[in-house]
Chain A
Amino acid sequence: MDMSPDWRLFEWINGLSSNAAVDDIMQFIANDYLVPVMMALMLLGLWCGARSLAQRKLNQWGVVWAAVGVGFTNLFIQILNLLIHLDPWPRPFAAGHDCNLVFGYQPTDPSFPANSAAVAFALATGIFMGNRKAGTIMCVIALLWGFSRVYVGIHYPLDILGGAVLAIVITLIFRKVLLLLEPLPTLLLGIAKWLHLADIPERFSFSSINWRPIITTKWWRKEQ
């Protein structure tokens, strides 16, 4: 019998499922579509909905960092999944343990790291850097999503923790990658600002864009 802390925690959370009404609510939260769409709504709300210009700019940077974080976290997880496929990390219901599967279907991709948790935490981390309150709310939603996916029996707690840590680290590190991608971010945000759909970057004109190749811009010197 597996007595690892991860398994014991899984057994405890998954063992909570006995009340039909709570199971239905958890299944609704654990769904693949609800939380991503709600987070997309929050991102759009943050992009447009701050009365002060300074806060709106911070929110918009938060949304940009969240988008970059999600992009690179997903890329990293796809690569990791390819490697894990060589030695698959099975889902709880497929690992031969006793498990209450209260989810509608049995996912077939590797259990670790939880892609759902990674996406939610990448978004929450990006937003947290621009807006602490909204970032905390998104963290709570991400935690709830992660908890519900353990509750319905499709992830171990370690999968959620792994996805979350991976997303937080990648989002914090790859925020700097925006500098490497210049002038593309400035150009895209600049066009949005020009069309009155964004407030960042601070100053923008087409002539101010640095069109030189990335190699010669020596972006790392700007950091010093």
Chain B
Amino acid sequence: MMNALYLGEIIIPKALFFFKFAAVAPPVGDTRLLSLFFFLFVFLGLVGMLQIAAAYNRMKALSFFTSPKVGYIFGICVIVGSILIFYLTGNRNVVSPRLEGSQVLGFTFLGLATSVVATLAIANFIKRKQAENVTEKEPPDGMEALQREVYLPLMKRLWRRLKGRAQ
């Protein structure tokens, strides 16, 4: 009963207000500002999705948290937050400023590359104690290795192998 009341009186009106706002808000800024907000939308959304995937797959090298539950909650919050930031900072259904299809694709790729690098770097920084222990044991191929170790030791080992080959 309480949940139904909460849903009917708070959640649904707030959600409807969000859609109304997104539809009638005035356009803000120029294409450059829109590009920045779109990049943030993609970047934050992808970081959130990486956290959800890392929590589901128990990937040490990608996850910021040791508890998968926290990873799921953080990921969902970041994705929802990125949508809110993008749509509450101006009307996105206007002819100007507007991004062309090629720009959308370009910013999506840029967001993808930066989100992966940022996630690996942040996870590595958080788990830097583990990153100091570089073992000589060969890691498994591909993404399986991300479940066992943080990213920096993997790269250090790769670098050593390359140097060994060069000598």
Contacts and interface: CB of A to CB of B under 8 A. Distances in A.
Interface of A: 20-21, 23-25, 27-28, 30-34, 36-37, 40-41, 44-45, 47-51, 53, 56, 74, 103-106, 115, 119, 193-200
B129 interface: no
Contacts of B23: 23-24, 27-28, 104
8 nearest CB pairs, A to B: A104-B93, A49-B53, A105-B95, A24-B19, A48-B53, A199-B142, A24-B23, A41-B49
B19 A21 contact: yes
SS class, residues of chain A in contact with chain B: helix
Interface of B: 16, 19-20, 22-23, 38, 41-42, 45-46, 48-50, 52-54, 56-57, 59, 61-62, 79, 83, 86-87, 91-95, 98-99, 101, 104, 108, 111-112, 116, 139, 141-146, 151, 154-155, 158
A44 B20 contact: no
Contacts of A194: 158
Contacts of A20: 20
B91 A104 contact: yes
Contacts of A74: 101
Contacts of A196: 61, 139, 142-143, 145-146, 151, 154
B108 A44 contact: no
B35 to A, nearest CB: 11
B53 A45 contact: yes
Nearest to B48: A41
Contacts of B16: 21, 24
A40 B46 contact: yes
